[in-house]
């Protein structure tokens, strides 16, 4: 998803903030993902941002095998952030 955002930014000088709209390659479209959930159904996906930044967040679906993983976030500046309570073992430093 992050690489798709970068391609949209190259074509439009802006990022898309729509996950489910049809992918057009430009900011007026979306990322073209049919639902705001991963294909395996384990994470809900959200996107927030503006023309110059975005934040993609994956939150484990309650009751899925990934529930203990915590939330994973990727920002347009490349920062990867993880959080959860309790802090997931793989995320002790707050980033990955």
pLDDT in tens, 5-56: 999 999 999 999 999 999 999 988 888 888 899 989 999 999 998 889 999 9
| Residue 58 confidence (pLDDT) | 92
| Residue 93 confidence (pLDDT) | 66
| Residue 94 confidence (pLDDT) | 66
| Residue 73 confidence (pLDDT) | 92
- In whole angstroms, what is the distance from residue 80 CA to residue 61 CA? 20
60 closest CA partner among 38, 81, 75: 38
pTM score above 0.75 = yes
Sheet holding 54-60, edge to edge: 43-49, 54-60, 71-75, 80-83
| Residue 48 confidence (pLDDT) | 92
pLDDT exceeds cutoff 70 at 3: yes
């Amino acid at each position: 998803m992050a690489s798709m955002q970068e391609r949209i930014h190259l074509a439009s000088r802006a990022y898309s903030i729509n996950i489910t709209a049809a992918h057009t390659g430009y900011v007026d479209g979306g990322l073209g993902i049919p639902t705001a959930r991963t294909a395996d159904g384990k994470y809900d996906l959200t996107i927030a941002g503006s023309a110059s930044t975005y934040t993609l967040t994956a939150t484990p679906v309650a009751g899925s095998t990934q529930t203990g993983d915590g939330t994973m976030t990727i920002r347009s500046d490349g920062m990867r952030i993880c959080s959860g309570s309790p802090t997931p073992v793989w995320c002790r430093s707050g980033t990955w």
